[in-house]
Chains A and B, each alone.
Chain A
């Protein structure tokens, strides 16, 4: 059946099985490969995308449930917080194998889009669903703080 939604600001219509997880619709039908498969059970966060601005696990989200909604993947990141996150990721040299990093960046961006000066506890709460087997966690934490500092410096008073 045809599923209509907005993917990275462009309307799309995908002819896929309604129970197909959004992850595979995005990867195999829409051809966007930045979002990764890690566990298939919302346990690792490698498949994290934004649904109406919130970080969700696309591997357990049936594509039928996103009819008419806004989906954003790593390919569609454009907000100021997203740029700050990606810049900080490069500056702190976060990735090792890199496979989980799209999901990490999506979770971190969702966090900073609602909270520009997260505490370590905020970071733990927002990021503990994203596994990194290379254990780049220390740099992820540092990069989120760095991105947050940049954002608050750019917009004094708004944080």
Chain B
């Protein structure tokens, strides 16, 4: 656990760079975190990020399948938006904890 300054705001992050407190998140932080993953965020990305945050708040166990059924994007689209690990990368950028699901 460490403190890190992202987009001018000091936040607590885990060893793997996930925000400790999802309420410290804002869109500027998201853009900065995305840049580290080599992703330039668009409105399509933000739609997914907002969906993930909403579901996380509801206490849902997040899976790729849930995102695929969200109506925001399909699974292929999700992989295209966040290549090389869509659920982990999008969760990190959305400021929510590392996903624990195997699917």
A-B complex is real:
no
- B residues sitting closer than 8 Å to A (CB atoms) are none
